[in-house]
Amino acid sequence: MSAIAALQERFALPATLHFEAGENGLTRAVFTTPHAQAHLYLHGAHLTHYQLTGQAPVLFLSGCSEFAADKAIRGGVPIVFPWFGARSDDKSAPSHGFARLRDWDVASTTLHHDGSATLELSLAPDQASQKLWPASWEMSYRVTVGATLHLELSVRNTSDTALHFEDVLHTYFVVGDVHRVGVEGLGSTEYLDKTDAMQQKRQNTDPLHITAETDRVYLNTRATCVIDDPDLNRRITVEKRGSDATVVWNPAQDKASKMADLCDDEWPRFLCVESGNIGPHAITLAPGATHTMSVTISA
Catalytic residues: 170, 274
- Check binding of 141 to ligand TA6 (CB under 6 A): no
For ligand TA6, which is the closer residue by CB, 152 or 166? 166
To the nearest 10°, report the CA torsion of 79, 81, 85, 89.
-160
What would the x/- binding string for ligand TA6 be over residues 206 to 245, using CB under 6 A? ---------x------------------------------
Q: Which of 48/118 has CB closer to ligand TA6?
A: 48
Is residue 95 near ligand TA6 by the rule CB under 6 A? Answer: yes
Q: Residues near 233 by Cβ (< 8 Å), separated by ≥ 6? A: none
- What x/- string results for residues 161 through 180 when contact with ligand TA6 is judged by CB under 6 A? ---------x----------
Cis (ω within 30 of 0) for the bond into 134?
no
Q: Out of 172, 236, 274, 283, which residue is the one contacting ligand TA6 (CB under 6 A)?
A: 274
Going by C-beta distance under 8 Å and a sequence separation of 6 or more, which residues neighbour residue 145? 31, 33, 36, 37, 38, 50, 116, 117, 118, 119
Tell me the chain's radius of gyration from C-alpha atoms.
18
Terminal Cα distance for the chain, rounded: 40
CB 205, CB 187: distance < 8 Å: yes
Tell me the site size for ligand TA6, rule CB under 6 A: 11
Q: Report angle CA 35, 41, 42 to the nearest 5 degrees.
A: 125
- Closest approach, Cβ 255 to ligand TA6, in A, equals 8
Q: Residue 233 CB, nearest distance to ligand TA6 (Å)?
A: 27
Give the shortest CB-52-to-ligand TA6 separation in angstroms: 25
Judged by the rule CB under 6 A, the positions of this chain that interact with ligand TA6 are 72, 85, 95-96, 170, 194, 215, 247, 249, 272, 274
